[in-house]
Amino acid sequence: MDAYIIKLQEKMQKKLDHYRYEHTLGVMYTAGALAMNYGLDLNMALTAGLLHDCAKCYSDEKKFELCEKYGVELTDFEKKNTALIHAKLGAVLAKEKYHVENPEICHAISCHTTGEPAMNLLDRIVFISDYIEPHRDKARRLGEIRQMAFQDTEKAVSMILEDTLNYLNGSPKAIDPMTKKTYDYYMNQK
């Protein structure tokens, strides 16, 4: 790892609570492993994984304040389901606060929660890593998805979206329109 990533780790450790920091490290290392598997730039994947939840630690009030400050446009669904805001806000904070100049890294952070149609390889790696990192243990087909992640990222994304929508359909939680749109896109890729 280069010095920049080591400094980012130190910043994230100070910023995040213990659970979120451990999750973040898990995502970072998983993204790195997937990047090596697919021949993607390792530092890009490590940076995106490390910063994917950099806005998660803020209160809802602070998230709204920061969105206003940086001109982050939120959908009505995001305004009502504030847990989703951290992805878009995190992408902006990666650039503004953590000096990430690579737009691909920021984009991967912005879509790591709901996904989006036609994600590039880095987007898919961060999306998958957030779901399969070693501290995760609740997903129904987690072992199968972990194996698929190293064989076919598009198939792994499809499996994650399918499981996510099955879970959300059986709960009182509403489904973000972008998640549904992403699901439809990847199901049509089969």
Listed in sequence order, the residues at least 6 apart from 139 whose beta carbon sits closer than 8 Å to its beta carbon are 131, 132, 145, 163
What is the SS3 assignment for 41? Answer: coil
pLDDT of residue 72: 98
Average pLDDT for the chain = 95
Average pLDDT over residues 9-37: 97
pLDDT of residue 138: 87
Average pLDDT over residues 123-149: 96
Planar angle of CA 112, 172, 110, nearest 5 degrees: 15
pTM metric for this prediction: 0.96
Please say whether the beta carbons of 112 and 141 come within 8 A: no
Q: What is the pLDDT of residues 24-77, one digit of tens each?
A: 999 999 999 999 999 999 999 999 999 999 999 999 999 999 999 999 999 999
Task: With cut-offs at 50, 70 and 90, classify the pLDDT of residue 116.
Answer: very high
pLDDT of residue 48: 98
Q: How many helices (H) and strands (E) does the chain have?
A: 11, 0
Tokens of 179: 């998640």
pLDDT of residue 190: 65
Residue 126: closest CA among 139, 114, 141: 114
- CA distance linking residue 170 with residue 167, whole number of Å: 5
Tokens of 65: 């304040």
Is the pLDDT assigned to residue 179 strictly greater than 90?
Answer: yes
Is the pLDDT assigned to residue 167 strictly greater than 90?
Answer: no
- CA distance linking residue 153 with residue 31, whole number of Å: 12
pLDDT of residue 1: 66
